[in-house]
Each structure stands twice: as C-alpha cells, then as structure tokens.
C-alpha cells in the first residue's frame, strides 16, 4: 500500500504569505523539497498541448490549469507551495506557460508565479511567445523576422549542444508538407540590449546574413525562462526534435518518466507468397473480395538473392528485421517444385541473422467462418442465426504446427510471440465486432503471451485471454505490391475520387489526410510522393517515444524491393539528426509488449494518485505501490541503493525499477546539486527584465496562430478508419 505523507500548510511568515526570501541566516533554513511534477498553464493552444503530450507520453506527472475554463483553479501562493514536516515544499518542479505572461496586467497570479520561481529556483517554459524585451529579445521589427519557416532549417548553437539539446547533431529542419499551406510561424530576433540571454536554437533571418533565436534561455529577476518563439503542434518534426531538450531543461534532467526513440519492422508472410494487385480489375485475385471469375492469382515471393540483400542491408544499417513466418509456404513450394525451395534453404542457412515470429502455419483467417458469396464478406451463420467460428483445435494447430516446423528448421524462436494472419481471430469491424471466443483458449494452449494487433484498428493494448496485444503500425507499402508501379496504381485507386477512377474512400471520409487531388504518375509517384510521405509518418512515430513496431510484407523485399527506400529514409534521416549516444532502439515484439504494459500500469498509478516523488538536494525519493515498475530519468552517475541506475541514453540515464515496501531513494551526482547564492542559499538574482512596452503600431500576437497558418494534427483524424489497415494484409 502507498504510505500517506502528512502535509501541513503554513500560513505565517514571508515564505508563504508572499513567497519572498526568509529572514535569518540561510543555514537555518532546511533545504526545500521539490515535488517531481510539472505545472502546465494552458490557453488551449497547440504549443502547451504539445508539451503536455510529451510529458504524458514519457510518464512525467503534470497538473494542468486551463485559462479558458470558467471556475478554474486560481494560481496563488497556497496552490504553489506549502510545508511538509517542517520543510518548505515546492509542489511543481517546473512551470509551462503559453507565453512569457498570459495574464492581464498587474495579475496577482503572475506575481505569485514569479515569486515562486525566484524562491525555489523553478524554471519556466514560454511555450510560444512574441519576441520582445520582456522575454529578453528585441522586437522582430528591429532587424528581425516574423513569418513562415516552412522548409527552412534551424541549427542548435554551441550552447544548445553543450546544454539541453546535446542529443542533436545540429540541424533542426522545419517541415513543408504542403506548399499551399502555411505550417509554421516564427519570430526571429537577437537578444535585447543588456539581457542575460543564451540562444540554444537559431535560424537564418531571410534576406540577411544574420541569425535570430528560436529557443533560448533568459535569466532575470532571479528567474529562468526557456523562450520559444515559433508555433508548433505535437506532431510536427521540429517540435519532436526539440521536445526532449525542452523537458530536460525544465526539469534539470531529473524527472519521473523516460523517453526513447524506437523503430522495429516486422516482415509478414515469410516463406509464403502474397497475391498481386490487378490493375485492370482494381482488386487482388485470391482475395475474398476479388470475385471476378477470370481473376487468376499472381504470386509474389522472395528469392534467395532477396534474402542475401536483406542480410547485407541489415549489416549496413546496424538494424534487425523481424520475420513473421508461415512454414506451409515452403512446404507447398517444395511439393510444387520437386522438393526444391532455394528461398527456404537460404533463409534457414542465414536464420541467425534475423528475428523470427510465429505467423501461423498456413495463414488462414481465424475469426468467424467467412461468407464470401457477398461483397464485402460477412460472417457465416448456422440455421439458428449463431455465428460460425473457427474452432479452438484449428487455431491451436495453426500455432503449434508452425512452431514445430520452425524448430525443425532451427529458427531461433521466442515461443510466446504470435501474429495471426490478417490479425484474425480478433474483432474486425464491421463484420466481426467481437473476438473469436475460441481464440483465447487456443492462445493459452500454446503459451502465447504477446499477440500482434493492427494499430490502425486497435491502438490500445488489451488482454486476449492469457495474451496481451502488441499494436503494430501498418505501413502504406502494400502487401500485394512487389513493383513500384503496381504500388502506385493501387494507391491511386484507394486515394482518388470515383470520378478519377478511384475507390471514393476520401469522398466518404474527407478527413483522410492521404487523399490525392489527382492520380500519381506510376513511373514517378512512388519515389516522388509515397516514399517521402511514408518516411515522414514512420519517422514521426520513431520520434514520439512510440515503441510500437511497423509491419510490411515479404513481397516488399522482393522484385523492386520497394520497402527499402522507406526504411532507408527513416534510418538515414534519423542518423543525420541525432548523436551516437541517442540511437534508435530496435526491440523485438515481446520487449515492446512489456514496455507498453509497464507504461499502462504506470499511467494508471499516476492517475490514481498512488505515486509521490520529490527531490531534496541531491536525493530523489519515490513512493509507489509495492511491485509497481517505476520509471525515471536522472543525470549520468545517479545511483539507487549504491548501484548505478538505469541505462545511458541521450546524455542521461533512465529505466524501470520495481518499487518495494519502502520508498526508492536515488542519489544524484554532486554535479547535479542546485546552484545557490552563497549568502542566501537561494537562486542567484540577475539583473531585472527590461520593462519596454510594445512600440506604437506593433501588435503583440504571441498567443495566436497567425491567419493562414494551418497546423496539421494527425495523419488519420479521430473517428476516421485508416484505409491502410484494410489494404495492408497482416
């Protein structure tokens, strides 16, 4: 059980009444306790939302005060600080504001925040602010710039690389995904005269040789602010690149939660063949919905040369693919070819170079029995109207026989992982709104603990009997395409209008963001449109602390080998942006599942108020339910129970550790001790902020997204089913 900490709110003395400096010598004051929680003050805009999303994804506790909501919490001294067991307590380790001062002139709330930040040396992030002297910067009209940064490239300064953004190699490219849409807006300027301001990220001022700051630290009045002068949302690459540094700056590198960049790729249907898209029929012969009587399946299957290419590619990228295999594919091929199967021979010979996942023996549909007499198919029923299901024995045989086949072939298997064909057995809307009731028992029969699912259909992890799902991102590189031209043809059919010969899915779901204004050229559309888009989407997942694997198919490694340009784009693009101590993490399926499960348990405990964490000097204490895996990010050299804590990543250490019957106590290195004024024990006070007003005729737009600037949100809007999930056969 979680221990209860007695809290007494002190209402006397200057500390709480005005959050001023205490009377008496500094040595008489106990070192304050700083709770490991962030205060996010939101105006409903995308920038504070983006920072909150970053904290949530990492598992870092935060409290939101929404300035747009009536009856909201008032920010005052009692809300910000109190005393616990005779020790002053700061309830928040950092403050995030929409801009440098979102309150009305003379606001008591801003005064309380400023006093709080001075007293406890609490840093403040200005999520998106106008460049002005109150933020330590010149106005952009004074030789700076106000406008779009679409397609431009910013750079981390030397101070940024030696400070909070040291995980970046230097470049911070700004997206330009649609030339007809404004996607970014920024104010570029130089530090104001006399301001104690350190630029961390800069960009060239258009039309000039000078640069202007986009992110920098402003020190004034005994306070520290991270000033950000460009607008962003949680999905844009420029924010994703800088998000880690923003959090590390505001927390001093000491916080609950952790973040890494992940990328894993599952290749389904290995040993089997995938049926090819027919450009004349606009369907895939062999698929249940391609009912033309003249349709003849045209299989796509890897060759031995494709295996050698895959192995060589892995070695060149320091990356490992996960092969989800179907043993019947090789058995059938040998039966049809006099016992010969060069593909299987080569795969088995090089089996130790890949990771392997059971994908069932013959890749059948394991849900309801499909009635394919209608399009789209429906679940077959018995005479009493009950659904006919694939039996427990049939499901179990598919799992067990494939496992035995793999063991005989010497594949290095992990037997508790499974991906069913098309993710079948689990619910498939609209035809099958529930799991096959025989699936869970069959999983138990075979000791399956981790079950692959389709993230475009079920993004949340869930239990299926004894197994826990591992949602996988489908890539828009289709299972039924081995050549670039047929990939483009199918892409055109899916994402163009009916008048253009397409499926009309975009007319039915106009929010789908992959829709095309006109068909792509089949000769150039893959390299020119699809590859850059899919690269950006997959890299966006990798930069979002998202460990979920992506999946493609063996057909994409055959013939034109169309998967590699996308994979190269992700891996090469990533390595051009990050330092060597911030690698892409490439876990296998069960490790991904365990990570997602730990995160779910952690979020639940945070939401229930079961975790208390705070810092006193160089000691961090975390009190959590016994057995809960606790996650934290700390400076390199931190210890737990006298032993080194965590794994090194991005210049820090982080990881999971189980809580016990007593609080976890971490010790930070001496270099992480707070810097204090020798006379007062408090943060040093620097020169005051300039009080210059906005010049006449200059509008201060710091809290608004300028007219004409559109910030794209998600690739697939809420409520819209991603068509990729339907065309990417699992």
Asked if the model's pLDDT at residue 621 lies above 50, the reply is yes
Same domain for 182 and 273, yes or no, is no
- Averaged pLDDT score across all residues of the chain: 91
**Out of 125-139, 181-195, 269-283, 686-700, which region has the weakest mean confidence (pLDDT)?**
686-700
Same domain for 333 and 384, yes or no, is yes
From CA 110, how far away is CA 129, in angstroms rounded?
Answer: 16
501 φψ region: left (φ > 0), alpha (ψ -120 to 50), beta (else):
left
Same domain for 390 and 425, yes or no, is yes
From CA 88, how far away is CA 30, in angstroms rounded?
Answer: 7
Q: What is the pLDDT of residue 721?
A: 37
From CA 442, how far away is CA 426, in angstroms rounded?
Answer: 13
Flag whether 597 is in a domain. Answer: no
Coarse DSSP helix, strand, coil percentages of the chain, rounded to the nearest 5 percent: 30, 25, 50
Asked if the model's pLDDT at residue 196 lies above 80, the reply is yes
Measured CA distances, 599 to 85, 557, 592, 660 (Å)? 32, 33, 11, 18
Are residues 357 and 320 in contact, defined by beta-carbon separation less than 8 angstroms?
no
Asked if the model's pLDDT at residue 82 lies above 70, the reply is yes
Same domain for 270 and 176, yes or no, is no
Q: What is the CATH number of the domain that holds 313?
A: 3.20.20.370
Flag whether 57 is in a domain. Answer: yes
Residue 491, φ and ψ in degrees, nearest 5: -60, -45
The model's pLDDT over 426-452, given as tens digits with 9 standing for 90+, comes to 999 999 999 999 999 999 999 999 999
Range of the domain at 224: 14-256
Flag whether 606 is in a domain. Answer: no
From CA 553, how far away is CA 102, in angstroms rounded?
Answer: 51
Same domain for 319 and 390, yes or no, is yes
> What secondary structure does DSSP assign to 563-588, as a single string?
HHHHHHHHHHHHHHHB-TTSPPB---
Same domain for 100 and 208, yes or no, is yes
From CA 636, how far away is CA 649, in angstroms rounded?
Answer: 9
The model's pLDDT over 488-505, given as tens digits with 9 standing for 90+, comes to 999 999 999 999 999 999
The model's pLDDT over 288-317, given as tens digits with 9 standing for 90+, comes to 889 888 889 999 999 999 999 999 999 999
Number of Cβ within 10 Å of residue 261's Cβ equals: 24
Domain boundary among 207, 237, 256: 256
Three-class DSSP category at 614: strand
Same domain for 574 and 662, yes or no, is no
Side-chain half-sphere exposure of 526, counting CA atoms within 13 A? 23
Cα Dmax for the chain: 94
Q: What is the pLDDT of residue 513?
A: 81
Strand partners, 220: 223
Same domain for 616 and 543, yes or no, is no
Q: What is the pLDDT of residue 215?
A: 98
Same domain for 340 and 429, yes or no, is yes
The set of residues, in sequence order, having a beta carbon less than 8 Å from that of 438 and lying 6+ positions away, is 389, 390, 391, 392, 395
Q: Which two tokens mark 265?
A: 């790729």
Residue 51, φ and ψ in degrees, nearest 5: -65, -40
Q: What is the pLDDT of residue 76?
A: 98
Same domain for 251 and 279, yes or no, is no
Q: How far apart are the first and last CA of the chain?
A: 43
Number of domains in the chain: 3
Asked if the model's pLDDT at residue 633 lies above 70, the reply is yes
Q: In a 10 Å sphere around its CB, with 0-12 CB exposed, 13-18 middle and 19+ buried, how is residue 709 labelled?
A: middle
């Amino acid at each position: 059980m979680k221990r209860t900490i007695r809290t007494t709110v002190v209402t006397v003395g200057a500390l709480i009444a005005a959050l001023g400096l205490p009377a008496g010598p500094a040595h008489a004051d106990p070192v304050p306790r700083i709770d490991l929680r962030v205060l996010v003050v939101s105006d409903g805009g995308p920038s504070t939302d983006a920072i909150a999303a970053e904290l949530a994804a990492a598992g870092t506790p935060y409290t939101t005060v929404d300035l747009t909501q009536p009856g909201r919490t008032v920010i005052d001294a009692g809300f910000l600080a109190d005393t616990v067991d005779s020790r002053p307590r700061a309830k928040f380790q950092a403050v995030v504001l929409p801009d440098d001062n979102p309150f009305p002139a003379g606001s008591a709330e801003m005064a309380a925040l400023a006093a709080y930040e001075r007293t406890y040396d609490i840093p403040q992030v200005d999520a998106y602010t106008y460049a002005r002297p109150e933020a330590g910067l010149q106005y952009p009209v004074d030789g700076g710039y106000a406008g779009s940064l679409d397609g431009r490239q910013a750079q981390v300064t030397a101070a940024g690389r030696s400070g909070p953004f040291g995980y970046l190699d230097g470049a911070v490219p700004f997206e330009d995904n649609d030339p007809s849409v404004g996607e970014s807006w920024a104010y570029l300027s130089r530090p104001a005269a006399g301001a104690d301001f350190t630029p961390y990220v800069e960009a060239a001022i258009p039309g000039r040789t000078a640069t202007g700051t986009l992110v920098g630290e402003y020190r004034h009045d005994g306070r520290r602010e991270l000033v950000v002068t460009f607008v962003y949302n949680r999905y844009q690459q420029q924010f994703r690149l800088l998000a880690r540094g923003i959090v590390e700056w505001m927390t001093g590198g000491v916080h609950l939660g952790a973040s890494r960049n992940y990328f894993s790729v599952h290749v389904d249907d290995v040993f089997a063949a995938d049926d090819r898209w027919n450009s004349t029929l606009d369907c895939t012969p062999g698929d249940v919905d391609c009912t033309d009587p003249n349709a003849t399946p045209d299989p796509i299957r890897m060759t031995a040369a494709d295996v050698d290419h895959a192995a060589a590619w892995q070695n060149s990228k320091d990356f490992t693919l996960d092969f989800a295999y179907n043993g019947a594919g090789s058995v059938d091929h040998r039966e049809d070819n006099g016992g010969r199967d060069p593909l299987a021979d080569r795969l088995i010979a090089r089996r130790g170079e890949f990771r392997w996942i059971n994908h069932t023996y013959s890749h059948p549909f394991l849900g309801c029995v499909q009635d394919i007499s209608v399009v789209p198919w429906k679940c077959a029923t018995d005479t009493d109207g009950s659904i006919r299901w694939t039996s427990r024995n049939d499901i179990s045989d598919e799992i067990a026989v494939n496992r035995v086949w793999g063991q005989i072939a010497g594949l290095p298997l992990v037997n508790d992982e499974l991906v069913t064909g098309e993710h079948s057995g689990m619910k498939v809307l609209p035809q099958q709104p529930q799991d096959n009731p025989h699936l869970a028992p069959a999983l138990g029969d075979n000791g399956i603990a981790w079950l692959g699912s389709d993230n475009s259909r079920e993004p949340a992890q869930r239990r299926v009997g004894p197994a826990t799902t591992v949602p996988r991102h489908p890539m828009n590189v289709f299972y039924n395409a081995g050549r670039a031209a047929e990939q483009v043809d199918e892409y055109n059919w899916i994402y163009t209008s009916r008048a253009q010969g397409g499926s009309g899915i975009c007319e039915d779901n106009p929010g789908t963001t992959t829709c095309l204004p006109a068909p792509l050229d089949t000769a150039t559309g893959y390299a020119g449109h699809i590859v850059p888009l899919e690269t950006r989407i997959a890299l966006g997942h990798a930069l979002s602390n998202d460990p979920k694997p992506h999946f493609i198919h063996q057909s994409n490694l055959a013939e034109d080998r169309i998967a590699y340009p996308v994979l190269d784009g992700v891996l090469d693009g990533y390595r051009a942006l990050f330092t060597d101590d911030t690698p892409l993490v490439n876990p296998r399926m069960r490790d991904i599942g365990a990570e997602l499960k730990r995160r779910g348990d952690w979020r639940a405990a945070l939401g229930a108020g079961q975790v208390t964490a705070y810092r006193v000097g160089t000691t961090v204490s975390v009190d959590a339910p016994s057995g809960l895996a606790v996650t934290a990010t700390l400076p390199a050299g931190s210890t737990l129970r006298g032993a080194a804590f965590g794994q090194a990543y991005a210049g820090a250490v982080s990881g999971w550790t189980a809580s016990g019957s007593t609080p976890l106590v971490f010790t930070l290195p001496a270099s992480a001790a707070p810097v204090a004024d020798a006379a007062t024990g408090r943060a040093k006070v620097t020169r005051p902020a300039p009080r210059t007003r906005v010049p006449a005729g200059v509008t201060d737009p710091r809290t608004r997204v300028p007219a004409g600037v559109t910030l794209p949100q998600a690739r697939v809007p809420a409520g819209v089913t991603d068509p990729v999930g339907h065309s990417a056969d699992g």
